[in-house]
Amino acid sequence: MNKMLSNKKAILLFILPSLLIFLFVVITSIGMSFYYSLTQWDGITEKIFVGLSNYKSLFIHNTDGFVAALKNSFLLAGLSIIGELIPATALAIILARGIKWEGFFRTVFFVPVLLSSVVLGQLWGMIYNPTYGMLNSIGMKLGFLDKAVAWLGNPKTALLCTFVVVIWQYIGYHMLLIYSGVKRIPQDIFEATEIDGATRFQTAVQIIIPLILPTIKTSLVLAVIGSLKMFDLIYVLTGGGPNHATEVASTLMYTSIFKKNLYGYGSSMAIFIVIECLAFTILINLWKPKQYTY
């Protein structure tokens, strides 16, 4: 017992410097952003204190279409739950139950997570390209398309096409998390279900999923928060266009701060993104799935 306590003290001693630096950077950054959000500032001239005026512009005046960008962020969060967690759970259960080349498929599904979002954006940009893109070529050869479509240039298709790439990139990430949860289930449980005559589908729905609900809950938090603050892939693919069709809160924040020099207004968006991510994290953590033991 004394040895365990001494080990904890040693661990705390080693992580404390990094933890303090991390907390200082995070708290300082959020604090400065909150202060900037209460001002009117272009990044050069003197700051003018305006109170909550920037926040009123976000929601009451809906300046620059922030509400629409926020709706796109929520839509992406909802689609991420359906498009990422459901396929990831299915793949994780299939792989963890032991199939041929399990390690190979696990690696292949995880590869998109390892690639830079800029690289993926450029790659999918070429796939969607109306002139030489693979999607148009295959669609016209199979007869699904009569002519080339500007997938990322059409407001009706750009949002969905962008979200497809975002969801595709992170399926492997959640698959690996859930896969590790399934692997922790003792093999005796699976042997017992086979003796009882349960099918693989029944085992997955009635045994595996209830046992890995805490892991799924963690993936749910990561999927929702990642969607609400998504920036890089959307910015590389469309930059928020065309005509703000794919604009989300983070891309609008970037445009406001770095292109329009509206540091105060953009900082209010940043603070709101932090608050909504924190709020959703708390709400999801309030969900207490039934705990199953084994």
Phi, psi at 244, each rounded to 5°: 65, 20
What's the number of domains the chain is made of?
1
> How far is 229 from 71, CA to CA, in rounded Å?
13
pLDDT at 291: 57
Residue 245 inside a domain? The answer is: yes
- Whole-Å CA distances, 17 to 20, 24, 26, 86, 277: 5, 11, 14, 39, 26
Question: Does the pLDDT at position 289 exceed 80?
Answer: no
Q: Is residue 51 part of a domain?
A: no
Section 89-101 average pLDDT: 89
pTM over cut 0.85: yes
Number of helices (H) and strands (E), helices first, in the chain?
A: 15, 2
Average pLDDT, the chain: 90
Residue 4 belongs to a domain: no
- Tens of pLDDT along 153-187? 999 999 999 999 999 999 999 999 999 999 999 88
Residue 201: domain span: 63-286
The per-residue pLDDT for range 1-24, each reduced to its tens digit, is 455 555 778 888 888 888 889 888
Q: Does residue 241 fall inside a structural domain?
A: yes
Beta bridge partners of 40: 48
Rounded to 5 degrees, φ, ψ at 48 are -115, 120
164 assigned to some structural domain? yes
Q: Is residue 27 part of a domain?
A: no
DSSP label at 65?
G
CATH number, domain with residue 222: 1.10.3720.10
Which two three-digit tokens encode residue 275? 């608050």
Report d(CA 262, CA 280) in Å as an integer.
27
The percentage of residues in the chain with a pLDDT greater than 90, rounded to a whole number, is 67
The encoded tokens of residue 197 equal 């005559």
pLDDT at 53 over 90: yes
Query: Is 155 among the domain residues?
Result: yes
Angle (nearest 5°) at CA 245 between 56 and 231: 75
Residue 49 is assigned to a structural domain of this protein: no
